[in-house]
A and B are shown apart, each in its own frame.
Chain A
């Protein structure tokens, strides 16, 4: 039962362009979402989060959008940089702090 899904295993974009990573969830009880970035041989690093009372949260080059009715969120990276190349995980946070992760999307930013 995959409650958080990232249906695109990989994404390739040109440096300077926008990267859009998508995530869908099925559990309507989820009300707080996070994006993590993971490089090989490192643990996931927190990027940005959003509460269900908002539909957008911005932090520098990173913006997360939440569409509650569609149970969909997306991460926009503008402009994309080669150093952004990593695996990106979407996660939903349950009450006591359990994270439910998607499968991840491998982002490759070409110079």
Chain B
């Protein structure tokens, strides 16, 4: 059973650019959530995808968007990068919704300069 994997692990982008982060969910999981963790803070919920549909969204602007594919892997896209987007981006997968344990990937460290 493979765990949640994210790529790349580190990334440096320039302000104004666009970035795509990728996540392969754990085998058998059909729900993926994305979180942003700024330095010294807890993870903040960005959005969740369930069976390829966005199922919930946190307080993030529309330039944060995502996709979930038929194999339940997922992408997080961020357009018009700002310096404050520098953070650790975490992907979590789970089976179904509600009270089910979410398994996290190791994260992608994004630095915007």
Contact = CB atoms under 8 A, between A and B. Distances in A.
Interface string B50-75: 10000110100000000000000000
The size bracket of the interface on A is: 20 to 34
B45 A99 contact: yes
Given A43-B107, A96-B55, A101 B43 contact: yes
A103 interface: yes
A103 B48 contact: no
A96 B56 contact: yes
Given A89-B42, A99-B43, A102-B42, A44 B100 contact: no
Interface in A89-111: 89, 91, 93, 95-104
Nearest to A102: B42
A99 B98 contact: no
A43 B4 contact: yes
A104 B43 CA distance: 9
Interface string B87-113: 000101010011111111111000000
B44 interface: yes
A43 B105 contact: yes
A96 B48 contact: yes
B31 interface: yes
B33 interface: yes
A98 B33 contact: yes
Contacts of B103: 46
A98 B56 contact: yes
A32 interface: yes
24 contacts: A34-B101, A36-B104, A42-B107, A43-B92, A43-B104, A43-B107, A44-B90, A44-B104, A51-B99, A89-B43, A93-B99, A96-B48, A97-B55, A97-B56, A98-B58, A99-B35, A99-B45, A99-B92, A99-B102, A101-B35, A101-B42, A101-B44, A103-B42, A104-B41
Interface of A: 4, 6, 32, 34, 36, 41-46, 49, 51, 89, 91, 93, 95-104
Closest 6 CB pairs of A and B: A43-B104, A101-B42, A97-B97, A96-B97, A44-B104, A101-B43
